[in-house]
Amino acid sequence: MSQPKSRKVQYLAGLCVSFAFTFTGAVISWPSPALPKFIYGEAGIEITDEQSSWVVSLAALGALPGCYIGKELSERVGRRLTVLSASLPGFLGAVIILVTRSPLLMCFARVLMGIGNGITAVVTMIYLTEIADKEIRGSLGMFVQVMNNLGSLAIYSVGPFVSYTKLNLIVVSFSLCFAVICLWIPESPYYHLANGRLADAKKQFMIIKGTKDETWANEQIDVMRIHVQENMENKTTLMELAKMKYRKTIYIVSGLKVLQYMTGSLAIQSYVEMIFRRNTGISGPLVSILYGFVQLGAGITATFLCRFFGRRILLFISTFGVAISLTLVGVYFFLLSSFEGNSEIMKSLWLLPIIGVLSFNILYAVGLGNIPYILQAELFPINVKSLASSIATMMACIFNFIVTKLYQSVKDAFGLYTVFWLFASVAYIGVFFTYFFVPETKGKTLEEVQDNIRSDEVERLNKR
C-alpha cells in the first residue's frame, strides 16, 4: 500500500491555523504589562483595581458565546471558514482597546476578543487532528501551544518598554496576520464526508496528504467514509452527547479541563509582572520576559517530546511537576508574609519564586498546556465532536473567568500563598486522575481511538 508522498501541506496548514493562537496568547498576556501602565498613569486611563479585574477576566467570559458560534460555524460552513471568522471579533475588540479610554468600553472590547478566542479554541484542534497523520498528530497539535507562547512572549518582552498605544497595536497586528495567512488552507476531508461530498473529500485529502496515488487515496477515503457514516447516523444533539456510550469520554475531558485551567495558568500569565513587581524585590518586567522565553522554549520542546512519548506519560509528568512548582511558590510567599521584617532571610530565598514560576511554566507546557486539547479532539466521534469541543471549551472559559476574577479577591483576603496552594491542590488531585483515568492515544488513528473507547465502555457495562 502506498504511503503519502509528503507531509508538507499538513505541517504548513497546521502552522498557519495555529498562528491564530498568537492572538490568544497576546490577549491573555496583555494585562501583565498593561496593568502597571494603568497604576502608574502611563496609559492615561482612570481605572480602579476592581475595574481592572473585570477587564482581565472578561476575555475568558466572552469566549463562552465564541464557543457556541465556533461549534455552529464549523458544522455549517466548515473548519476553514470558521478559522477565518475568528479574526473579525478579535480585530474589532483590539481596535476598541486601542482607541478607548473608558473602562466600560474596555470590558466590552475584551468580551469581543474573547469571542474570537472561543471560536479559535473550538475549531483549531478539530481541524488539526482531522488533517494530521497519526504519527504527527500530537506534534501538530502542539503547534497551538508554541504559537500561544509566541504571542505571550511578544507582549512580555516588548509591552513593558513601549507606550500603551504601541502595546495595543501589537495585539491588533496579530489578529490581522492570522487571517491573512489562513486564506489558503484546505478544508478538512472529514467535514466534506460528513456532508456527503465524497469527491471534494478525496480532492482535499490528496492535497493534504501530498499524494497523487488515487488508488491509495480511495482506500483511505473509504475507511474514513464508513466510520463517518456510522457516526453520523446519530444526530449532533445534546441528548445524543448525553448517551451512556459517551459517558467515559465526557468524564475524562471534563476532568482534564478542570486540571488544565484550575491550576491557575491564565491567572499567572495575566498577573506575572504584578506578582513580582509588588511582592518581591525582583524586576517584574525582567521576570515576565524570562517567563515568555522559557514558555516559548518549553512549547517548542513539547512538540518534539510528543513524537517520542505518549500523551498519558507527558500529562502525568506535567501535572506532578506543576503541583510541586506551585507549592514552592506558595512556600516563598508564605515565608514572605511570615518574615516580613527579616529581609536577610528573604534575600537568601530570592531565587525560589523564580525557580517555581519558571518550572511551572516549563512543566505546564510539556503536557497540561495542550494535551487536553488534543485528547478532546481525538476522543469524540465526528457526529458530536464540534458540540463536545464547544461544551468543553465553554467549561474552560468558565474556569478561566473564575480563576482570573477571584485571583485578586483571594489574594487580598488570604494572601498570595493561598492562591498558589489552591492551584497546587488541584494539580495533586490531577496526578491521580491522570494515572487512573486518562487513556493513551499515541500512534492510533482517530477511528482506532474511538473504537477503543467504545469497546471499553461496552466491556464496563457488561461487567455490571
Q: Which of 121, 170, 172 is nearest to 144 (CA)?
A: 121
DSSP 101: -
Asked whether residue 3 is assigned to any structural domain, the reply reads no
Q: Is residue 71 part of a domain?
A: yes
Q: Rounded to 10 degrees, what is the CA torsion of 63, 68, 74, 76?
A: -150
Residue 402 grid coordinates? 473564575
Cβ of 42: how many Cβ atoms within 10 Å? 14
Asked whether residue 442 is domain-assigned, the answer is yes
d(C-alpha 295, C-alpha 292), whole Å = 5
**Which of 125, 155, 167, 130 minimizes the C-alpha distance to 38?**
167
**How far is Cα 114 from Cα 92, in angstroms, rounded to an integer?**
11
Phi, psi torsion values for 422, nearest 5 degrees: -65, -45
Q: What is the pLDDT tens value at each position of the chain, 464 positions in all? A: 445 467 888 999 888 998 989 999 899 889 888 888 888 888 788 888 788 888 888 888 888 888 888 888 888 888 899 989 988 999 999 999 999 888 899 999 999 999 999 898 888 888 888 888 877 777 777 788 788 888 888 888 888 888 999 999 999 999 899 889 989 889 989 888 888 888 898 999 898 888 888 888 888 888 888 877 776 666 555 565 666 667 778 888 888 888 888 888 877 776 666 666 655 556 556 777 777 777 777 777 776 777 677 788 889 999 999 999 999 988 888 888 777 655 666 667 777 888 888 888 888 888 887 788 778 777 877 667 767 777 777 787 788 788 877 887 888 888 888 989 999 999 999 999 998 888 887 777 767 777 776 666 555 555 55
- Three-state SS at 72: helix
Residue 337 located in a structural domain: yes
CATH code of residue 121 = 1.20.1250.20
Residues ≥6 apart with Cβ < 8 Å to 205: 189, 217, 220, 221, 224
Handedness of CA 384, 390, 395, 399 (dihedral sign): positive
**Is residue 457 within a helix (H) or strand (E), and if so which, with residue range?**
helix 446-463
Residue-number span of the structural domain to which 75 is assigned? 8-463
Q: CA-to-CA distance for 464 and 457, rounded, in angstroms?
A: 11
Distance, in Å, from the CA atom of 21 to the CA atom of 90, rounded to the nearest integer, reads 11
How far apart (Å, rounded) are the C-alpha atoms in residues 409 and 51? 13
Phi/psi for 19 (5° steps) reads -60, -20
Does a structural domain hold residue 333?
yes
Q: Is residue 287 part of a domain?
A: yes
CB 130 within 8 A of CB 188: yes
d(CA 208, CA 4): 9
Length of the chain: 464
- The answer to whether residue 235 sits within a structural domain is yes
Instruction: Report the number of distinct structural domains present in the chain.
Output: 1
pLDDT at 123: 86
The helix or strand, by DSSP H or E, that contains position 10, with its residue range, turns out to be helix 8-18
* Cell numbers describing residue 260: 488544565
Question: Which residue has 509588588 as its cell numbers?
Answer: 278
Grid coordinates representing 88 are 473579525
387 falls within a domain: yes
Q: What angle do CA 389, 392, 395 make, to 5 degrees?
A: 150
Which three cell numbers, joined as nine digits, stand for 441?
492515544
> Residue 339 in contact with residue 405, Cβ under 8 Å?
no
Rounded Cα distance between 124 and 143, Å, is 11
Instruction: Measure the CA angle with vertex 291, ends 417 and 345; round to 5°.
Output: 45
The model carries a pTM of 0.72
**What does the alpha-carbon distance between residue 129 and residue 58 come to, in Å, rounded to a whole number?**
29
Name the average pLDDT for the chain: 81
> Which three cell numbers mark 77?
460552513
**What DSSP letter does each residue of 195-231 carry, written as one string?**
TT-HHHHHHHHHHHHT---HHHHHHHHHHHHHHHHHH
